Structure formats: structure tokens, C-alpha cells
Structure 1
Amino acid sequence: MEGENCLKVQMLGDFVMTYQGKIIQTGRNQTTKVLQLLQLLLYAGSQGLTRLQLIERLYNADLDGDRSNNLRVTVFHLRKLLEKTGLPKEQYISTENGRYRFVCSFPIEVDVVHFEMLLEQAEQTENPEQRLELLKEACYYYKGYFLPALMGEEWVVIAGAHFQNLYFAALEEVCQRMLERREYTELLELSSSAAALYPFDEWQIYQIECLLALERPKEAMALYERTTEMYFDELDMPPSERMIECFRHMSRQIQLNTGDFYEIQEMLKEHPRLNGAYFCTYPSFMDIYRIIVRTMERSGQSVYLLLCTILDERQKRMEDSESLKKLSESLAEAIQETLRRGDAFTRYNLSQYLVLLTGTRREDCHIATSRIDTCFRKKISSRRVHVNYRVASIANIPGDYGENFPDSDQVAEWEEKDGFKNLDGASDSPVSSDRLREENL
């Protein structure tokens, strides 16, 4: 809706009112009952809300006092607030026929109303091109969570989930259509906005697809690494199967410039040449695992999968915290510093690491865990922290020589069935692995 005298109201991503090009100042605290009443009435539009509906939304948790009187007082203060905003002098709050409405002599444009209107128009049109343009316009219009300052209010949570679901459905359709049409530049803009708003809903996959199509593979790889790191740090979990498949697709897509044999050989070398175990990303660890499994079929090499888990004094997994992040970093350093260059490891989640011990006899696994534990002990002084080590021969892991790499559910199932055997790699130190019964592997 155009025109300088239109009151424009933003509720997605923030609460902002503008009139004649100027922001209407309503105070810094957006959680007051007065401002909530204003937001409720603006959101309800011409239909308005009954006294009971307003009381339930505003005072449902507050059972003390006369809530009807509280509403009257709140309406009084809202009118006083509106008088100070610079808006034309009008009554604004109508209470006719038992309903409360926000009324004024000039037009009002509320973003959530316009957002739904665009989606309704998209549903009604039979023209695919027009539908796509309307859906794109709606996606651009969406700016984030509905009234984020009031996310603790039930009515805001319900409305916010509704708008978010509408946005996700529209954006998914737009992304698929734009991929088919190879409109990568604009799709990158849309998916980047979505990933910024909802970083854990995998919109980065579309970003990566676009970057690859636009021949920007380094940016695609950097984005993947940042995303997986975020999953580990914030959610304490490895990337999803969909994200891993995106990584594999990305790896297949990356094409390097033609080079001679010696240039390629030099590029493949590790720079700088580091001592200790090789740390790699989770998808790379999966590939290494599967290659080793194939090699075992003809070489007979002995390989063990080691699971290292940080536990508290009650022998329980620790909750995510800054303390756990530091412990996790220390454990990674201990693994890298004490194991051989031929061993590989990856972070499975914030409190667990997976290690491939290659060419190792079963009795040597105790030596490996003892070295890790001794090094970890030097870095951490707390007596309330332990590391549990569990190990399984790849040849004994369920499946065809373990070729199906374990997901999180399989790891948990093996632990329950004792597919992993406990190892005692500790000394009598304040920080040690669990002092568990030694078992034959």
C-alpha cells in the first residue's frame, strides 16, 4: 500500500511502526502490556478482539486482581502513548459492540497481512510464472520471527509457527523452481537470507549448490565447513545425511585446472607435514573408513575403531557448556599429539571423538588409550572429568566388514549390545579414563 499517510507496521523480525517516513517511537521496552495491546489490535485488524480474548492473551498468567479493570487501565495508557507518538490526534481504540479495534482515518499496512495476501494470490493464480514471482516476493518480504520480543507469549508462538511454516513451504518451492531454471544468483540471495534467519534448517545446501553452479568452489567448501562446525558447536551433533550428501555432490562437482603429473603430486602432499594423528571432517572420515574396509579384504590388516567419550564424575555425558568445549579441544589435541601419523580421527559431537587405529593389534589399543589419557591429564586438572574409551575391531562391526559406516543410532545400539568393548587406558590420575574391567576384544 502506497502513500505517505499510510501507517506501516512491521511485525516480522522486529516491531516497527512508520508514518510519513518517520519511525514512531513507542519506547524501548517492547514487552509492556500497553505495547502488547497495541500489537494485538494491529494484528487483529478490522475484525478486532473481544474483551475476553484480550484478557486471556494479556493477563492469562496473572490471576490476581480485577483483570477487566486492568484492561481498561491498559487501554487508557495506550491512548496516552499514541498521543505522544506524533500520529494525528484521533481516538484509535474503538470499543463498540463488545469488541476492541484499532481504527484511524488513514490506511494501515501490516506486514504479516501483506505476506499472507501474497501467498493467497500465488495459490489462486493458474499462471506458473506469476505464481513464482508472487512466492518470491513473499519470501523477500519475510524478515524473521514474528514479534521476537514476545516469543514467550503463547499467541505469539502460535502465530509465529504459522508464518514460519508458510515461509518455509514457499521458499522450498521457489528454490526448487529456481534451480530448474538455473537462476543461481538470485537463488543464492534468497537462500543466504533464509540461512541467516534459520541457520539450523539446512538452507545452506541451496547456497552451496548455487556457489558450485557459479564456479565458486572455494566459497562452497568454506561454507560447508562453517556449517558443520556450527552443527557440532551449537547442536552437539554431526551434519545430517542430507548435508553429507551435499558434501559428496560438492566434491564431485569441483573441477581443478589442468596440471601435469608433478604439479598434481605436489598439490596432494600435506602442507605443512604434521606429526601425530590426522584430523579430518566427518564425511572425510567416512570415506577413509570405507577405503580401509575395502583394503582389509585383501591385506588382512588389523584396524580398530575407537570411541572416546568425555564424562562427568557421575559417569554421565556432560551437558553443552564452555567448559565442555575446552575439554573437547584438549581431548582432540591429546589424540592428535599421541597417536601415529597413520591414524585418523574426527569429532562425532562435542563430547565424543572417533579414531581409526590402523595396523594395530588388540593389545596395543590399551597402549594408545593410555597415551591419550596421559596427555589429556596434563592439559586438564579437574578431578571430576573422565574419558571413557570403547573399541571395536572393524572386522567385527555389524555389516559387510563394517562397510556401512555407523550413524548415531547404530553407535548407541552397539554400545548397548557391547559391540564396543571398554578399555582401561588410565593411570591413577585425577583425570582418567574409566577404571573398568579389562575385556578381551
Structure 2
Amino acid sequence: MTEWNGKTVNVVARLLGSFSIEVDGQLADLGRNMTANAVKMIEIIFLNREHGISKNELLNEVFSDKVLSDQNNSFNNLLYQSRKLLQNSGMDGAKFIDNHRGMIRLECAENAVTDIEIFLGICRKADAAASRAEKKDLYTQALEYYRGPLLPDFETEFWVIKPGMVLKHYFERAAQYLADLAEEDDNYEEMYRIMKHADSVYPHEKWEIGRINALAMQEKYREAYEEYTKVVQYYLETLEQPVPKVLLDIYDRFREGITREVEAAGSFQMSTVRRDEEMEAQLRLNRAGGYFCQYSSFRDICNVLNRNIDKRGNSIHLMILSLVDFESNFRSMPDVLERRSECLKMSIHDVLRSTDVFTGYSSTQYVALLVGVKREDCATFHRRISVKLHELAGSRADVQYRIVAPDELEQILTAGEKN
């Protein structure tokens, strides 16, 4: 049993880090295939526990906008499977999922809660807390409760992106507050622990830099140097991007201690600076970047490449890159929206190769065509674009992506004409 809003609930859905349901404190059996559409439907319904979700919206989210030959049949089959899973889980109810006038809700909504609601509740209490001690205690609870990103199996799907980014920013705010507090108290061991935990939840964000700084402040120069080399190699070799200046500055601040502890540090740093300068110079030479064109031209290029893909032997991937409005207000601020959209356009341009093409898809989206890359390479392109966007528009600007399958290409292109 769990206390929530002054009452006891017996169903807790956990969507952070992975998906599971607890009924009366016992983990429910939802089968082995946790990415099945029936499970996905249950996840979406729990995500919309408070207000419900329309049948059409639910179908779009489950099937990712794929065209269904018989929507009603697909929905009824899926509803039956989802209800069966919930029945087997031990939840109380007759239908388990209520379908009333096109709105889909949990039958036991009043007796259920999600870990998202609990996490956000703790964070909001922390935000409102008057004393430092209470705020610290609540943010610590929030950090410990947060098991990971929202539904990572579906993190690139639109229905996960926005709530996922909202949760991420609440998590980041809690972690940063606690890390700053630890630094103020000269408790660098605690600062390192917080940064390490945050980095384990959201790798390759800003936390690794704070972690290195915390080690150096403890005069653990060898450990700091080992962390530093890993991060440098990640930027130069994995992302193929220059090393952030803030990271180089940390090394400069603690140069004396690091070189005293690690004999090879000086030569590594010289090599790092040289490679960093070479990469900057190369990027300046290659500023041509991705080719931006009007939507009609983009569609023609896509169609030609798609028709000749077998003959050419090249793979093509379509990426939809979307600005994330986790603040729920930048869309109502034309100047901010225009600025962030332009920054995203510049970021995509600078990261893509001259053989890649992209175009505007909506006021907050661009679609890019990548030729001759593997599907997993798209994640690397996204990370590079994200890093560049943060440089241009600040840390509160975020971008998420979705890879479009070849059989969705025509549908996506047609939809784009309407945007």
C-alpha cells in the first residue's frame, strides 16, 4: 500500500527507468515482452491516468502514426489484450480499462498512482520548502526515488519525449541544488557522489565535468585525470567534436596537482589541445555542413533516393528532430520559439555532412536525410546536435529525435506538406 494525497492506494505503476506495476506491494506479471503493443497501451494509459486519453490519440501513440487498415479492429484487439494483462496482474476491476465516449481511462484510476506523480510531488514540496534543511531532505528523497529516464524503451517516441524532458529537468534541478549545497559546505565527497549518481542516470551530460571538479577539489588528482581522459576521448573520438572549454579550464586550474601525480598528464594534455585545435580548424573548413532546402525539393530528393536504394546499395535514414517544450510556454513566446528554432537549424547544419539534406518540418521540427549511415549512428548525430544546440541556445533548449522507418517515408512526407 502507498500513501498518496492523503489516501491509501494499492496500485503503483513505475514508469521511471523501466515499466512495472505493483499491486498491494507485489510486482505484477506483465509477461516477457515489455515492448509489446498491449504493454505499450497500458503504459500510455497510466501516463494519462489523471485525465484519460482519446481513442484516436491512443492509437496514434501506440502505432506511431502508422496507417491502420481497420482502426476499430486494431483497437478492440489491443484493448482485449491489455485488459487480459491487467486482469492477470491481480488488479481489481471488471473491465480494468474504461472506454467511455471515445475517452480511455483506467477503471481503478482513483486507487492508483504512478511513480512520476510521486516524484513530482516530492520535487514540488522541495521547491516550496522554506528552510534549507527541509529543501535538502526533500530533494535527496527525490533523487533517491528517481530510478531512471521515463520509459527508455520508447524514449524517442513523441508521447514520451515531452514528459520525459519535464522529468529530466526536475531531476537535474534537484541534483544541481544538492551538488551546489555540498560544494558550499566544502563536502566534495558528497558533491562527487551526487554528480556520479546523476551521470549514471543521464550519461554524457554536464555531470561528468562536475565529477572531475569534485575529485580535483579533494586533491584526488590521479582519479580526476583518469575521468578527464575518458571525457576528452568521448568528445574527440566518439562525438568527433571539440572539447568544451569548461573541461579544458578545469585541467588548467589543477594542472600543477595533476602533473605532479601523473607523469604522462602533460603530454596527454598537449596532444588534447593540439587535436582540439585541429578539429576546430577542420570544422571551420567544412562549414558547408548539411544542405538545407525547401520541403518540395527535400521530398523529391527523398523519393529519388528511396527508389534507387537497392541499386545504390546505400542505406538511408530519416530523422525527425524536435525542440522540446518542457517549460510548456516557449510555444506561446514567438521570439523565444523563433530563436530556438533557428539555433536548432544552425546546429543541424553544422553537424550534418555535406552529403546530408534537411528541411523544416514544422515550427519546432526539422527532418534530416542521412545517407550511408547505420541506424545506431543516428544517436551519435543526435548527441552532436544536442551539444551544439546547448552551445547556441543554452542548457534549457533540448532536442529529441525519432528515426523514421523506410515504410513510413511516404506517409511522413505527405504529412509534412500539411504542416
* TM-score for the superposition, normalised by structure 2: 0.58
Shift of 1:80: 1.4
Residue of structure 2 in register with 1:354 after alignment: none
- Aligned with residue 203 of structure 1, among 207, 223, 245: 207
What secondary structure does 1:46 align onto?
coil
Counterparts of 1:141-152 in structure 2, within 5 Å, are 141-152=145-156
**Distance in 1 (alpha carbons) for counterparts of 2:71 and 2:109:** 30
Structure 2 counterpart SS, 1:47 = coil
- Determine if the alignment matches structure 1 residue 218 to structure 2 residue 213: no
Q: Judging changes above 3 Å, is the alpha-carbon distance between structure 1 residues 110 and 306 closer, same or farther for their aligned structure 2 residues?
A: closer
**What does residue 52 of structure 1 align with?**
56
Where 1:64 maps in the other structure, the secondary structure is coil
Separation of aligned partners in 2, 1:285 and 1:44: 48
Q: Is the 8 A contact 1:202 1:243 kept in 2?
A: no
Of 168, 174, 194, which residue of structure 1 is paired with 2:172? 168
Structure with more relative contact order (C-alpha pairs < 8 Å, separation 6 or more): 2
Q: What per-residue deviation string (whole Å, max 9, x for no partner) do you get for residues 90-147 of structure 1?
A: 4321224542211339843411111111221122222233223222322222222211
C-alpha displacement of 1:248: 1.7
Gap regions ≥5 residues in structure 2: 283-287, 290-387, 389-419
Equivalent position amino acid for 2:108 in 1: C
Summarize the Cα distance change of 1:139–1:43 in structure 2 as closer, same or farther, 3 Å threshold. Answer: same
> Does the residue aligned with 1:94 lie in a helix, a strand or coil?
strand
Give the counterpart letter for 1:119 in structure 2: C
8 A contact 2:99–2:105 mirrored in 1: yes
CA RMSD of the aligned region, Å?
3.7
State whether residues 26 and 81 of structure 1, in contact with CA within 8 Å, keep that contact through their aligned partners in structure 2.
yes
**Aligned residues of 1:191 and 1:207 also touching (Cα < 8 A):** yes
Tell me how far 1:286 sits from its aligned partner: 4.4
1:374-413 alignment, distance < 5 Å: none
Aligned to 2:268: 281
Matched residues, number: 281
The match for 1:108 is: 112
SS in structure 2 opposite 1:101?
A: strand
Percent of aligned positions with the same letter in both sequences? 20
State the 1:184 CA deviation.
2.5
**1:179-328 residue pairs with structure 2 within 5 A?**
179-252=183-256, 280-282=267-269, 286=273
Secondary structure class of the residue paired with 1:112: helix
Say which SS state the counterpart of residue 18 (structure 1) adopts: strand
Among 124, 128, 136, which residue is 2:128 paired with?
Answer: 124
Tell me, yes or no, if the aligned pair for 1:247 and 1:283 is still in contact at 8 Å.
Answer: no
How far residue 167 of structure 1 moved from its aligned partner, in angstroms, is: 1.9
Distance apart, 1:244 and its partner CA: 0.8
How far apart are the structure 2 equivalents of 1:284 and 1:152? 36
State the one-letter code of the partner of 2:213: E
Equivalent residue number for residue 66 of structure 2 = 62
- Whether the 8 Å CA contact 1:212–1:220 is kept in 2: the answer is yes
Are 2:149 and 2:168, in contact at CA under 8 Å, matched by a contact in 1? Answer: yes
2:89 to 85, 88, 95: 85
Q: Which whole-Å CA distance do the structure 2 matches of 1:100 and 1:24 have between them?
A: 22
Please tell me whether residue 38 in structure 1 is matched to residue 38 in structure 2: no
Report the secondary structure of 2:105's partner residue.
strand
**Could you tell me how far apart the structure 1 residues matched to 2:119 and 2:179 are?**
18
What letter corresponds to residue 172 of structure 1 in structure 2?
Answer: Q
User: Aligned pair in 2 of structure 1 residues 79, 124: CA closer, same or farther (>3 Å)?
Assistant: same
Question: Which aligned pairs between 1:356-435 and structure 2 lie closer than 5 A?
Answer: none
Q: Which residue of 2 aligns with 1:2?
A: 2
Distance 1:232 1:175, change over 3 A: same
Task: Give structure 1 stretches of 5+ with no counterpart.
Answer: 258-266, 271-277, 290-304, 311-315, 318-408, 410-441
1:350 aligns to what?
Answer: none
Query: Quick one: structure 1 residues 215 and 6, their matched pair in 2 at CA, closer, same or farther if it must change by over 3 Å?
Result: farther
How far apart are residue 20 of structure 1 and its match?
A: 4.2
TM-score scaled by structure 1?
A: 0.55
DSSP 3-state at the match of 2:137: helix
Larger radius of gyration: 1
Query: CA 1:250–1:136 in 2, change beyond 3 Å: closer, same or farther?
Result: farther
Return the offset for 1:256: 6.2
C-alpha distance in 1, partners of 2:17/2:33?
Answer: 16
Residue 9 of structure 1 aligns to a residue whose secondary structure is strand
The residue identity in structure 2 corresponding to 1:28 is R
Give the Cα–Cα distance (whole angstroms) in 1 for the partners of residues 233 and 64 of structure 2. 41
Change (3 A) 1:89 1:286: closer
Instruction: Summarize the Cα distance change of 1:26–1:239 in structure 2 as closer, same or farther, 3 Å threshold.
Output: same
Q: 2:2, 2:68 → 1: CA distance?
A: 45
Question: Is the 8 Å Cα contact of residues 200 and 231 (structure 1) preserved in structure 2?
Answer: no
Aligned to 1:360: none
CA contact (8 A) 1:12 1:146 kept: yes
**SS class of match (1:84):** helix
- Tell me how far 1:243 sits from its aligned partner: 0.8
Say which SS state the counterpart of residue 72 (structure 1) adopts.
Answer: helix
Closer/same/farther in 2, CA of residues 20 and 64 from structure 1, 3 Å limit: closer
Distance 1:240 1:31 in 2: 37
User: Once the 2 structures are TM-superposed, how far is the Cα of residue 282 of structure 1 from its aligned partner?
Assistant: 4.0
1:170 Cα offset (Å): 2.8
C-alpha displacement of 1:203: 0.8
Secondary structure at 1:63 match in 2: coil
Give the aligned partner of residue 23 of structure 1.
27
Please list the CA deviations of residues 206-228 of structure 1 after superposition, one character each: whole Å capped at 9, or x if unmatched.
22232233342221111111221
Q: Which structure features the higher share of helix residues? A: 2
